[in-house]
Structure 1
């Protein structure tokens, strides 16, 4: 599992690679109850053992995003639902500083549903 996870990040091109690696580290260190997992051939993060969020790169825009599993329960203008039933995504611009305050607030809100 760890090898697949590491390879997923390493196979990305810059600036997405650095952005995704920074998000990985930040999410893992944000709460000791968050664990990393390899599910559906993508990096997932679990909270209390349940699927919580994931990282991915949009196929059209080529920008990274954080997918929030119970995002449909969060109302915030930065989150996009698009054609997803449960999840919403937070697009991340890899050429700018990470919006750590926003990410932290959204993930804290998402934790309340677990």
Structure 2
């Protein structure tokens, strides 16, 4: 699993690579119960082993994004639902400074769904 994760991050070109590493760090530092694994060949972050969010890059634009697993329960103008019924994404422009406050606000709102019990954890 570590090799798959390493290969994913290291195979990216700049500035996407640095952006994804920074996003990874932000997510992992949110809470001691957040861990990283691989699901669907993508970096997946779990809260107490329950899928929480993913990191990926848009195939057309090559822009990184954070995919929020329970996005339908989150309301923020920067989140895009697209044609997804459950998930929403937060696009990140890798050539700009990261919108840290927005990222942390959305991620913490999502974590609160799990911590509050609104999303059941096994």
Is residue 2:75 matched to residue 1:75? yes
TM-score, with length taken from structure 2: 0.91
Is residue 2:51 matched to residue 1:30? no
Q: In structure 1, how many angstroms separate the alpha carbons of the residues matched to 2:31 and 2:79?
A: 21
Helix, strand or coil at the partner of 1:55: strand
Q: Deviations over 1:39-79 (max 9, x none)?
A: 11000000121000010000111100000000111111100
Helix, strand or coil at the partner of 2:65: strand
Equivalent residue number for residue 58 of structure 1: 58
Q: In structure 1, how many angstroms separate the alpha carbons of the residues matched to 2:28 and 2:109?
A: 16
Q: Deviations over 1:54-108 (max 9, x none)?
A: 1000011110000000011111110000011110000000011111111111011
Equivalent residue number for residue 19 of structure 1: 19
The answer to whether the Cα contact below 8 Å between 2:30 and 2:108 also exists between their aligned partners in 1 is no
Q: Which runs of 4+ in 1 moved over 4 A?
A: none
TM-score, with length taken from structure 1: 0.97
Unmatched 5+ stretches in structure 1: none
Helix, strand or coil at the partner of 1:30: coil
Equivalent residue number for residue 117 of structure 2: none
Equivalent residue number for residue 86 of structure 1: 86
Equivalent residue number for residue 42 of structure 1: 42
- CA RMSD of the aligned region, Å? 0.8
Unmatched 5+ stretches in structure 2: 115-122
Q: In structure 1, how many angstroms separate the alpha carbons of the residues matched to 2:29 and 2:3?
A: 20
Number of residue equivalences? 114
